[in-house]
Amino acid sequence: MKFFKSALVTSVLAVASFGAAANTTINGAGATFPHPIYAKWAEQYQKETGVQINYQAIGSGGGIRQITAKTVDFGATDAPLTIEELNKEGMIQFPMVMGSIVPVVNIPGISAGDLKLTGKVLADIYLGNIKNWNDPAIAELNQGVELPSQPIYVVHRSDGSGTTYNFTDYLDQVSTEWSENIGVGKDITWPRKATTIGGNGNAGVANFVTRTRGAIGYVEYAFAKQNDLAYTQLQSRDGEFLMPTMASFQAAAANADWDNAPGYHLLLNNQPGANSWPMTAATFILMHKDQTNADKAKEIIKFFEWSYTQGELAEELDYIPMPSKVVNMVNDTWKQGLQANGQSVIN
């Protein structure tokens, strides 16, 4: 079984020289959620242009810290900053692609899609209220499925994570107990009643789930699919049990109201619609408004501009491309927000 490289390993894709731009190296760091598609885009872009993209998948919290400290050219986060936070740090933010989070399990005899969960049951598992896989609350949802008397091991992110931010935002919406006692965050204090294991990055969570019988975790769907993890069905806000599919992801993404999201601060969890996958999220890029090197800034934007045109590559990895309306909005954000020596970087 193959796994993505450790989230601490930099994705470096070397290329031959393709003119002046080939000498450009762009450095980014942050979310592991979009790492598969960022690596794919980077590989293809380097083949076409010679520009080298170094992306460190270290988690959203690390990406925010590095771009704030100006040690990278761009940061990446699945937990969007508010407009107040962006203004304080002198940064712009824009959504790059959308994806989904899925529960994954390692239960003897259970294959991908066999197990049904509701949001409340998922929250109760992570709260430690449900400790065994044959608990009546799980059995009631899965009549006819043979559930073992197997202790549940809860796998979560150990790093500051936008995936965790979106996952806990969903649990916060579907569970009063979670909302009152745990809340939402990139890095939270996990309930003590549950038997927990911390993994670094989406890849770390995927690894621990695979290695631990009885485990449950949450990962970006591309990690589940490409590593043959047993994802679960999940009940939509309107009560339908759904498989994680491109159609269910797109149904949720269709409700995204980007027009009324200052700084593109928008979460997509628990969207209405019978066929809307309940844990759908966008991932974002952060850049400083004031750029010291106009030519470098232009090359960075060229890469992101090109990436927006590569929707087919995104869909191959089960990500959802940003709609053209949003791409046009982002183009305006670049023109108005990025400056070097007092002049707009983008004409």
Exposure b/e, 116-133, CB count within 10 A at least 16 = b = bbbbbbbbbbbbbbbeeb
| pLDDT attached to residue 13 | 39
The CATH code of the domain at 10-99+281-344 is 3.40.190.10
Q: State percent of the chain over pLDDT 70.
A: 94
Topology agreement, domain 10-99+281-344 and domain 101-263:
yes
Q: 99 vs 19, 87, 106, CA distance in Å?
A: 34, 27, 23
What tokens does 69 get?
């400290």
**pLDDT category, 9, cuts 50, 70, 90?**
very low
Please state whether 190 falls in left (phi above 0), alpha (psi between -120 and 50) or beta. beta
DSSP 77-126: ESSPPPHHHHHHHTEEEEEEEEEEEEEEE--TT--TT--EE-HHHHHHHH
Residue with tokens 């760091």: 29
β-pair partners for 242:
234
> At residue 346, does pLDDT exceed 90?
no
| pLDDT attached to residue 226 | 83
Over residues 70-86, the mean pLDDT reads: 97
β-pair partners for 99:
281
Q: For the segment 25-57, what is each residue's pLDDT rounded down to a tens digit?
A: 999 999 999 999 999 999 999 999 999 999 999
| pLDDT attached to residue 21 | 61
**pLDDT category, 252, cuts 50, 70, 90?**
very high
> At residue 6, does pLDDT exceed 50?
no
What is the Cα–Cα distance from 225 to 317, expressed in whole angstroms? 9
Over residues 277-287, the mean pLDDT reads: 97
- Mean pLDDT for the chain? 92
> At residue 10, does pLDDT exceed 60?
no
Residue with tokens 């109760």: 124
| pLDDT attached to residue 29 | 98
> At residue 20, does pLDDT exceed 60?
no
Q: Can you list the positions of beta strands (E) in the chain? A: 10-12, 25-30, 52-57, 74-77, 91-105, 116-117, 153-157, 196-199, 215-220, 230-231, 233-235, 241-242, 280-288, 339-340, 343-344
| pLDDT attached to residue 15 | 36
**pLDDT category, 341, cuts 50, 70, 90?**
confident
What is the Cα–Cα distance from 342 to 127, expressed in whole angstroms? 51
Strands 52-57 and 91-105: unpaired
What is the Cα–Cα distance from 318 to 326, expressed in whole angstroms? 19
More confident residue, 135 or 7: 135
Q: Which residues contact 15 (CB under 8 A, 6 or more apart)?
A: 22, 46, 47, 50, 51, 52
| pLDDT attached to residue 22 | 60
Q: For the segment 195-236, what is each residue's pLDDT rounded down to a tens digit?
A: 999 999 999 999 999 999 999 999 999 889 888 999 999 999
Strands 280-288 and 74-77: antiparallel
CATH topology of domain 101-263: D-Maltodextrin-Binding Protein; domain 2 (3.40.190)
Q: Are 198 and 158 in contact (CB under 8 A)?
A: yes
Q: For the segment 120-167, what is each residue's pLDDT rounded down to a tens digit?
A: 999 999 999 999 999 999 999 999 999 999 999 999 999 999 999 999
Domain boundaries, the chain: 10-99+281-344, 101-263
CA end-to-end span of the chain: 47
Nearest to 130 by CA among 139, 141, 140, 121: 121
Q: Are 201 and 59 in contact (CB under 8 A)?
A: yes
